[in-house]
Every structure is written in structure tokens, then in C-alpha cells.
Amino acid sequence: MARLSPPDLVLLQIESMPMTAYSRYIGRRFLLLLITVFISMTVVFFVPRMVPGEPMTAIFANMASVGGSVNAQAMIAEYRARFGLDEPLWIQYISFWRELLRGNMGISISNFPAPVSQLLLRALPWTIGLLTITTILSWLLGSVVGAAIGWRGRKAGAFRFIVPIALLLYTTPYYILALILIFLFAFIWPIFPLSGAYAVGSRPGFTVDFILDVLHHAMLPALSILLVSLGWWFLSMRSLIIALKGEDYILNAEAMGLREQRIMWGYAFRNALLPQATGFAIAMGHIVGGALITEVIFAYPGVGYQVYNGIKSLDYPLIQGGVLMIILSVALANFAIDIAYPLIDPRIRYAGSGGK
Amino acid sequence: MTRLLNRTSISLLLLAAILLVTACTAAPPGAPGAAPGAGAAAAPVDAERAKTLNIAVSKPFAGTDNFNIYAPGFDRSRTGLGAMVYEYLFYLNMETGDYIPWLAESYEYNNDFTEITVKLRPDVKWSDGEDFTADDVVFTYAMLRDNPSMTWANEASKAVANVEKVDDLTVKFILTEPNPRLHLVREAFPAVPVWSGITIMPEHIWKGVKDPVTFANNPPVGTGPYKLASATESAVSYVRRDDWWGTKVFDVTPAPEKVNFMHVGPETSVAIALTANEIDTPAIGILSPGAFVSVKERNPNVEAWLKDAPYAWYDPCPRALLFQNDHAPFNDPNLRKAVSSLIDRDQIVTLAYEGSTATANTIYPAYSGLKPYMDAIKDIVAKSAVTYDPAKAEEFFTAAGYAKNGDGVWAKDGQPLAPVMLTDSGDPESMKVAQVVADQLTTGGVAVQLQPLAGAVQESARLAGSWDIAAPQAFCPGTIYEDMELFHSKFYVPVGQPAPWYERNSFRYKNPAYDAVVNEMLAALGKNADEATLVDIFKRGMEIWYEDLPVTPLTQAPALVPFNTTYWQGWPNAENPWMMPVNWWATMNLLLTGYKSPETGEWVPGIHPAGQ
């Protein structure tokens, strides 16, 4: 047993698991996912409709501000009919589900006549591209460095200066950090562009030039997210490792004369990884919600701004579409971690088996 | 732990020190401040940039596939479509008062103002080479009549019964009722003073369109000097057309080869971009006076309408405080005057606007063209309740039956005066003004309850009128008759139903005597009455208005629009007010092309590259 490496341990777990119990466990989790999505979407359908306010003003504020206000009532009525808002609420609710199951998220009111799916799908690649890479990078980097520093403790020597820096980064308000980065690297030393996802006027496409341009533009927003989230992953991993150092099994492993590297990565790090993995799954789930402040400060295209704008203008279809994506990805990320937990945690057994 | 904290604070201090040092020593690129006196000599390095005009907008773009100017959700002011791609029959230069023929050569009303005959300019071509003719005008109006859910369709059909083609270059507008002002009404006639309005569409593109409301119109075919090059969330870009009809007819080419309407981020990013010469001019409402001053200190090439504070140009829509005239307590004019007398407008200018505007005691903009009217009502204004005067306020409160209670709050029949004040929490200007006003009223013994709402909720509430006070409200369009008409009871709807528009009587004012004066004004305009007659009618209207005080004026509307002269020069300013300094209106093309002055016949040139 002691000679097995961590991947072997995982394999052992899977092999030793009764498959029927495991699939029952997965089935239950999946049912829970469906119920979560159903309840959340129902709430998201009704709550905006209970807010006092006329979503059509999103259209008419635009229109009347340029002079159009004759027959406003008739116009509002006609547009309400176009969006099906003249129907009783329960009929709207049923047709909402019918359309959604067909994959139709409707037409945005405030960006009429743009379809919600088009608005979201166009913003999604930017959000996912930026946030997935930064989330994975900062999680990996934060966890590994946090573990190394935490394990060595006072022996870490000069590397201990990382701790106050991480604290500083973690406690710095994000927008201030972002503005400092802009000020330093887009203004004082204009190494990176000030804003946007690519140069103004260039046409998106899979050319080397365009991809380089995109990377160049993504550097500052990515760096800002990386720095802020890095601090958290680093600090939490470090404290987890410090807490684990006193555990009996670590002392036991030391007594058995295992190499320190082996104890640190194979025993301490692996156990500390579990809470980190939960945090990681939750962070991944929130990615499609976008990073509103990043999008605003760096004028970076993304989902966050679309959803924010939808909520502001009571754009029911846009709110529903945006929230659906967020709920789905959070629920799926949780589902994924639920499935993976029994596999990566030697102590957790799927419910119902009563442990071994 | 203490050691750790100490270390943290030391690192913090260190970082702060580094930042401070870099901030003080490092020179921003391209900021001529780094080399004193080198302002003009700091030649643009980037040749491509020198051909481009960059305009910063306030928000990212959405729905960038759609370039249908008549689609309700289309963003008219930020995309620049109405200025770059489309053109109008006439333009109104509010600064000089010039009514500039453009796609048309002339217009003429018939004797009883029921018809306008317009002569179109020959040799105007659409960007695809087709001729611009009377058929396009006739078609556009017919399309609006058939599709009432297009923007302005109802306005157009209400004012214009029919448009007839007389010959290829002559159209006749048959009006539904006599209207001597139609040539100024942008939502019914294709002549623009502001954000855009009725826009003539090419018949050959639009005639086969099934649903013109949802038609994407991409790429847009217009007559203008630019064509759409690309549109993304962060920028809408245009390139100059070499085959623009105006180049042949006027012998003029607008200087910028490319024009970008771009979103670079929030105020700080725009300030940095302006300092670094990446932006030539931002839209209204992005830079606060404080940010403008700090940009100007670092980049002396950045200027605005006025050389010194308040720097801003005045937008034609002054700000006022709305009272709900339809229900208690503000259905009592004495109470409206009492509250109005508690408002210190100088303080609003200082605190809410950082000194970037002027106080107002009328709802009319401080334009020179309106001076005869404003001079005529000076006495009326002077004795009215639109200035800060706590002693006078007490008189009005007493007259309204109020007395101060034990808490120092004005009360009537044991009820303390605690009005609900609606404001738009999504708009920094509204919030700042509302907070200053609320503070002043509270000090004056009115227990104001501030109700900040945002987005569609705020808009609906403001139109429905279920508030006591709303602050602040812009009053547009800033011309004598149109602003008078805003208070006409024909726009009255009961509280609960949405008013036609915010300043179109969401305050529910109703006075038959005032209506009569407005009607008389329209009739006089119809008879081409001389200015003395018009001023006299205006004066009689204002006597009633200030006696009733349905709303109370607060300030002029500041439009702080910085111009960067590093790449482009010749921007209008107070010393050379050749044009409105506005990049978010459909008149913006004239800033680039210039125009032929109808008065002198001379070509007033547009902006030009620096160093020419």
C-alpha cells in the first residue's frame, strides 16, 4: 500500500466500488441537478415580472428620447404582444418552458430584434477564454506554491515574502488593482493596449495576426484576475497544509522514513486538494456569469455586462437566458465535483454504501 | 501574526512608494507636458492614427448586426450611423441658427401651412451608385405608415398625411393640419437638429423587406461620406467613401479617412486614453470636470468649449425639478413656490456639477438666439419664486396653510410635509443633484424621502407620476414654441398611466388659460408673425407659468466635451462657435465636412489634420 503512487490509489478506489451503488448515486445527483435548474428558472421567470416596471420602456426610452411619443400606449401594447407579454402569466410560463426546451431563448427586448442566444453566444467565447485560463492557472499556481511554502514553513527562507504579497493581493480591491495595472502597463509603459479584446477595426478570424492581437489584449485583464485570485488559492492551500502537518498519518509517514517530497505531495497535498477542488469547481461554475468589473474596466466583451444590462432594463428574455447559463454551469460544475469526489477522496464514500 | 502584519504593511508602504515615484517621474507618452513648449512639435508618430478620428462612447455596443435606424432597440446616438452613413434634407445649426440645405436645396410652405414643397438636390447618389430621388422620400413615408411600430412612424403619420412625388427631384408633403414648424420637427420631417429622426431610406433596398421593424439593414446603404467597415462590442468603425456625391457637388472631402466610435472603458480609462492621445473626443457625460482638469494638466492639447471653468458647452436641455401637480400636496402652487424658494441653485452648481454649469431660472437654454424672449420676461422671473429665499419660502408655506411642528418640519393638519422624491440611481448626475436638493429641503424643514430607482423601474415610475417630486429632469428641445408646448394639457394623462414622455407632462400640469396662449403662439407662427408679436405672446404665457410654477428650473445642462487637438484641429469653441461641439448627434458629419453658410454663401470648413 505504501508503495502505491496517488494515481494507483484512485484506480484502486474505482475498482473497489460497487458500480450499481455508484450509478444510483450519480442518478440521484443528476435528478437533483434537474430540480435545481427547474426551481431556479421558475424563480428567474417570476421575480423580474413581479418588479414594478415596464420592460417596454427599454424600447421606448430609446425611441421617445429621439422624439417618438405619439401613441405610446398603442405602441407599448403592440410590442407587449410581440413578446407575448399580453398573455396571462401562466400561459407565458408554459410557453417559456416550451420554447426553452426547443432551445429558443427568445428575443432581447432592450436590443430588439437581436436574439438572446446570439447576444450571449457572441459574448461567451471571450468570457470563457479569459476566465477559464486565468482560473485554472491561478488555481494551479496558487495551490502548488501555497503547498510548497506552507510545508516548509519557517524553512522557506526568502520565499516567505510571498505570504505578505499574497495577503496584499488578496485584500486589494479588484478595481484598484486593475486600474494600477492599466496605469503602469498601458500608460506609463504602454506595453499592453488600454482596453478591448482586439484592435479596433480588425475583423475577428482565425489568423495568426488576429490571435496574437487577442492575446496581447488579453494580457492585462488576465493578469488582473490572476493576481487577485492567486492570493486566495495560495493562502487557503498554505493554511490547509499547515493544518495537515500535525496530522497523525503525516507523523506516521515521517516515522516510516518516507522521503519528505513524497509525504508532502503524496500525503499532505493530496488531502489538502479536496477543499481546493470544491472551490475550484465552484469558481469554474461561476465563469459563465462573467467578470462584470473586468468587462467594465477593460472594456472587454463578455457575458457579465449583457446580463447586468438585461437586469437593469428588465429585459425578461435576456435575464432568463443569462441566468439559465449561469445556473446550468454552476449546477454542472457541482455535479462534476459530486461525481469526482468519491474517486479522489479516500474517505468519502457515495451515500448509501455506508462506507467500507 | 504581528510580525506578519508588520511585514504586510511594510510591503504596502513600499508598493505605494513605488507607485508614487513612478507616477511623479515617468512622463506619459505623447504628453507634450514632458517637453515644455513642444506642444505642436510633438508630431504624431503613428501615420495610421493620424488619419483616424476616435470618438469614445459611454457603453459597449450590443446587437451589432443590426443597422436599422428605425428598429426601436437600435442605438442611435452612440453608433454614429445617422451621421456617418445617412444624411438629411436639411440640418439645423443651433449655434448659429443656420438652417442648412443638404440633400435638398429648398423648401416652401403653401399659404395656409398645409403643404411643404421640397426641391431635392440633383446628383445625390446612394453608396451603391443608385440615384437619390423623390421616390425614396415617398417610399420612406409610405413604409412608416404601413409599419406603425417603427420608430417615429406614429409621429410621421400624425403630422404628414401623404407625400407626393411632383417630379424626380420635387416632393410635396401634405400635412394633416396646418403646421408652420414642421421643417423643425425631426420625428416627422427629415431634417435634424439632434440625435436623428425621420431618415430617408433607399427604396431599392427596402422595398422587398417583409418586416421592416426587424430588418437588420446590414450593411447599411446611405448617401453619407462614410460607409460601415466593422461593428463589434467595443467599436463601430467607418471608412471614408471616395465616391461620395458631396465630393463632386461641394468639392469637399472630410479629413478623417477612418472614424471609430469606440468603448475604451469607464471614466478613468477614457481620461488615460485622452491623455495618451488615443481618443480625439469623448461623448457627453463621460468625463467629470475634475477628470477633465487633470487630463488637461497632463495634455495641454486637450481643450473644451470654454478656455476656463466651467469649460462646458450648454446642451439645449436645462434641468428642472418636477412637482406632481395632479395630487396633494403639490397641487397647491404656494407649496410649489415654497419648496422652489428653498433651493439654492448656486450650491447645486458647485456641489453636484463641480462648477461645470450655470444656474437657470428658466427652462430655456442660454443661447443667444433666445435672448429677446429671455429679456422680455426678466421682470416676471425676478419677482417669481425661482431663487433661493428662505424668508419668502416661509411666506409661501404659511399661505399654503403650513406651520412648523415640534421637529422643525412644516406640517398641515398635523401631517408633516414628507414628500417622496424620485431620482434615477443609474445616473450619477441625477443622484448628485437629488442629494443636494434633498439636503437643502431637509434643512428648510421638508422631510424629503429620497427614492432612488434604476433602469426600467425608474423610467416607468417617472412616467406614471406616482411621486411628489422628481429630480432632476431635462427639458428638451430648447426652442421657444416646443418648450412652451411641453406644458400643454393635451399631453395630460391621469396618474398611473404612462405620460407621453418625461418632460411632456409627467408632472400633469393643466391650465386652460396657458393652453390658450400656446395655441395662440402656434397660430401666430402660422401667420409668420414678427418677433415682437411672438415675444409678447411668450411673455403672457410665462406670466401664467411663473404664477403656477408647475416645475422649477435648476441649472443649465452642461455638456463637457473635450477635444484633443493633437491629431485634429478646427473644433468649434466659444471663440469660434461655427457648429455645435457634439459628436453624439446626427449633425456630427458637419463637424467633419463643414457646410455652406446659407447667410454668406461661404464654405465653413470642418476639422482638419494638425499642422495644416
Average pLDDT in chain B: 88
**Cα distance from B351 to chain A (closest Cα, Å)?**
25
Q: What is the structure's pLDDT at A72?
A: 65
What's the length of chain B? 612
Cite the DSSP H helix spans in chain A.
6-15, 19-50, 57-64, 72-82, 89-101, 116-152, 162-171, 174-182, 208-244, 248-255, 260-262, 270-285, 292-297, 303-312, 316-344
Q: CB of B459 within 8 Å of any CB in chain A? A: yes
Contacts of B474 in chain A (CB under 8 A): none
- Structure-model confidence comparison of residues B370 and B42, the more confident one: B370
| pTM, entire model | 0.82
Return the sign of the alpha-carbon dihedral for residues B257, B261, B263, B266.
positive
Euclidean distance between CA atoms B3 and B25, whole angstroms:
33
**Cα distance from B441 to chain A (closest Cα, Å)?**
28
Q: What is the structure's pLDDT at A16?
A: 53
Euclidean distance between CA atoms B562 and B571, whole angstroms:
10
Q: What is the structure's pLDDT at B194?
A: 77
Q: How many CB atoms lie within 10 A of CB B394?
A: 19
Contacts of B455 in chain A (CB under 8 A): 53, 311-314
Quick check: B35 and B42 in contact, CB under 8 A? yes
Q: Does the distance separating the beta carbons of B461 and A187 come in below 8 Å?
A: no
Q: What is the structure's pLDDT at A333?
A: 86
Q: Does the distance separating the beta carbons of B76 and A113 come in below 8 Å?
A: no
Of A25-39, A296-310, B20-34, B349-363, minimum mean pLDDT range? B20-34
Distance of CA B297 to the CA centre of its chain: 28
Q: What is the structure's pLDDT at B444?
A: 95
- Look up residue A109 and give its DSSP letter: S
Nearest one of A346, A319, A304 to A108, comparing CA atoms: A319
Q: Does the distance separating the beta carbons of A70 and B278 come in below 8 Å?
A: no
**Cα distance from A252 to chain B (closest Cα, Å)?**
29
Q: What count of CB pairs under 8 Å joins A to B?
A: 222
**Cα distance from A159 to chain B (closest Cα, Å)?**
13
Quick check: A318 and A119 in contact, CB under 8 A? yes
Q: What is the structure's pLDDT at B417?
A: 96
Q: What is the structure's pLDDT at A18?
A: 62
**Cα distance from A184 to chain B (closest Cα, Å)?**
8
Q: CB of A74 within 8 Å of any CB in chain B? A: yes
**Cα distance from A52 to chain B (closest Cα, Å)?**
6
Q: CB of B275 within 8 Å of any CB in chain A? A: yes
B153-196, pLDDT tens digit by residue?
Answer: 888 998 999 999 999 999 999 999 888 889 988 889 999 777 78
B455-504, pLDDT tens digit by residue?
Answer: 778 888 888 898 999 989 999 888 899 999 999 999 999 998 888 888 98
Mutate: best of A70, A167, A177, partner B, most B CBs <10 A: A70
Element (H, E) at B542: helix B531-548
Of the partner residues B196, B268, B463, the one whose CB lies closest to the CB of residue A66: B196
Euclidean distance between CA atoms B54 and B260, whole angstroms:
5
The residue in chain A having the minimum alpha-carbon distance to the alpha carbon of residue B13 is: A168
Q: How many CB atoms lie within 10 A of CB B174?
A: 13
Q: CB of B197 within 8 Å of any CB in chain A? A: yes
Q: Does the distance separating the beta carbons of A61 and B498 come in below 8 Å?
A: no
Q: What is the structure's pLDDT at A198?
A: 86
Opening angle at CA A66, ends A62 and A71, nearest 5: 80
Q: Does the distance separating the beta carbons of B457 and A75 come in below 8 Å?
A: no
Quick check: A220 and A185 in contact, CB under 8 A? yes
The residue in chain B having the minimum alpha-carbon distance to the alpha carbon of residue A181 is: B19
Name the 3-class secondary structure at B119: strand
Q: CB of A204 within 8 Å of any CB in chain B? A: yes
Contacts of B22 in chain A (CB under 8 A): 184, 188
Q: Can you state the angle between helices B267-275 and A174-182, rounded to 10 degrees?
A: 10
Please check the confidence at residue B441 and state whether its pLDDT lies above 60. Answer: yes
Q: What is the mean pLDDT of residues B259-268?
A: 91
Beta bridge partners of B355: none
Please check the confidence at residue B408 and state whether its pLDDT lies above 90. Answer: yes
**Cα distance from B70 to chain A (closest Cα, Å)?**
9
The residue in chain B having the minimum alpha-carbon distance to the alpha carbon of residue A123 is: B233
Mutate: best of A187, A300, A312, A318, partner B, most B CBs <10 A: A187
Quick check: B104 and B121 in contact, CB under 8 A? yes
Q: CB of B213 within 8 Å of any CB in chain A? A: yes
| Residue B3 to residues A341, B7, B8, B148, Cα–Cα distance (Å) | 38, 6, 9, 73
For chain A, which ranges sit under pLDDT 70? 1-19, 57-73, 156, 345-356
Q: Does the distance separating the beta carbons of B155 and A68 come in below 8 Å?
A: yes
Please check the confidence at residue B373 and state whether its pLDDT lies above 90. Answer: yes
Q: What is the structure's pLDDT at A64?
A: 58
Q: What is the structure's pLDDT at A59?
A: 67
Contacts of A293 in chain B (CB under 8 A): none
Q: CB of B494 within 8 Å of any CB in chain A? A: no
Mutate: best of A57, A60, A66, A181, partner B, most B CBs <10 A: A66
The residue in chain B having the minimum alpha-carbon distance to the alpha carbon of residue A311 is: B455
Element (H, E) at B335: helix B333-341
Of the partner residues A61, A63, A299, the one whose CB lies closest to the CB of residue B60: A299
Contacts of B504 in chain A (CB under 8 A): 69
Nearest one of B450, B452, B449, B448 to B425, comparing CA atoms: B452
Q: What is the structure's pLDDT at B15?
A: 42
Q: What is the structure's pLDDT at A58?
A: 63
Q: Does the distance separating the beta carbons of A186 and B272 come in below 8 Å?
A: yes
Of A58-67, B201-210, B285-294, minimum mean pLDDT range? A58-67
**Cα distance from B389 to chain A (closest Cα, Å)?**
34
- If pLDDT is split at 50, 70 and 90, which confidence band does B525 have? confident
Which strands, in side-by-side order, build the sheet including B160-167? B104-109, B115-120, B170-175, B160-167
B124-165, pLDDT tens digit by residue?
Answer: 999 999 999 999 999 999 999 999 888 888 889 989 999 999
Q: CB of A79 within 8 Å of any CB in chain B? A: yes
Of B33-47, B55-69, B80-94, B416-430, minimum mean pLDDT range? B33-47
Q: What is the structure's pLDDT at B2?
A: 39
Q: Percentage of chain B surpassing pLDDT 90?
A: 67
Of the partner residues B185, B263, B498, the one whose CB lies closest to the CB of residue A72: B498
Please check the confidence at residue B31 and state whether its pLDDT lies above 70. Answer: no
- Look up residue A287 and give its DSSP letter: G
Euclidean distance between CA atoms B99 and B149, whole angstroms:
30
